[in-house]
């Protein structure tokens, strides 16, 4: 892995595209609808992901379908995305605990 891969994954739209492609391959039209972005934007993000060897594409008739480049990359992405998802959950839990403790503290001193 190099720093360009991490830069490519640092964009929320590209991350959403990656998460979608981890389920199954899609064409640009599907990815445009799923991401809520226009076709030009999605195509630019797909180009970045292809250039950084995160995804690949294949032509079937007039359609181009995108998928994760290989099983090794998919496994690495699963681990990376899982780690990223844990942080907000831990943060929410930490905030709930802090609120609970503050509430108890108020009740004791009132």
- Between 13 and 101, name the one with better pLDDT: 13
Cα separations (Å) of 32 from 15, 36, 39, 49, 65? 14, 6, 6, 15, 13
Residues 60-86 have a mean pLDDT of 84
Confidence of residue 60 (pLDDT cuts 50, 70, 90): very high
Q: Is the pLDDT of residue 95 over 70?
A: yes
Quote the CA–CA distance of 44 and 48 in Å, as a whole number: 6
Fold of 3-109: Arc Repressor Mutant, subunit A (1.10.10)
Cα separations (Å) of 108 from 95, 96, 101, 102? 20, 18, 11, 10
Are 95 and 59 spatial neighbours (Cβ–Cβ below 8 Å)? no
């Amino acid at each position: 892995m190099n720093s360009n891969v991490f830069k490519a994954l640092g964009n929320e739209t590209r991350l959403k595209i990656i998460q979608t492609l981890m389920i199954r391959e899609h064409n640009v039209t599907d990815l445009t609808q799923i991401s809520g972005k226009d076709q030009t934007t999605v195509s630019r993000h797909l180009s970045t992901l292809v250039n950084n060897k995160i995804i690949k594409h294949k032509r079937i008739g007039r359609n181009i379908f995108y998928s994760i480049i290989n099983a090794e990359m998919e496994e690495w992405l699963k681990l990376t995305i899982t780690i990223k998802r844990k942080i907000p959950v831990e943060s929410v839990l930490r905030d709930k605990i802090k609120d609970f403790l503050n509430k108890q503290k108020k009740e004791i001193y009132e």
